[in-house]
Amino acid sequence: QKEVEQNSGPLSVPEGAIASLNCTYSDRGSQSFFWYRQYSGKSPELIMFIYSNGDKEDGRFTAQLNKASQYVSLLIRDSQPSDSATYLCAVNMPGGYQKVTFGTGTKLQVIP
């Protein structure tokens, strides 16, 4: 079982719709969860982090965490073509100096 799993996509949504990206993780000891956006040929950019169960909102982005189900998600409201990118989920690995494990990412395509 992979430590961090994401559907590779592509996930296609029309402009203005809500995009929902999902991630599951295997280590119940994980405490910190991150979402990165990566445009093609560029480096990952941190867009959200969440520690506690529930929702965390930042502008058009909402991160949701359910530790009991070992599930974290990212919602993007009012999706724009500029949101088209690969979204990487990352989970901290207990015991290291802020080490994280990345999922392989979900490719999001926002159709104008």
Residues that bind another protein (CB under 8 A): 4, 8, 32, 34, 36, 41-46, 49, 51, 88, 90, 92, 96-105
CB of 56 to another protein, least distance (A): 10
Give burial (CB, 10 Å; 0-12/13-18/19+) of 11. Answer: middle
Cβ burial 20-29 (10 Å sphere, 16+ → b, else e): ebbbbbeeee
CB of 2 to another protein, least distance (A): 9
| Residue with smaller CB distance to another protein, 49 or 61 | 49
Whose tokens are 């295997």? That residue is 26
CB of 105 to another protein, least distance (A): 7
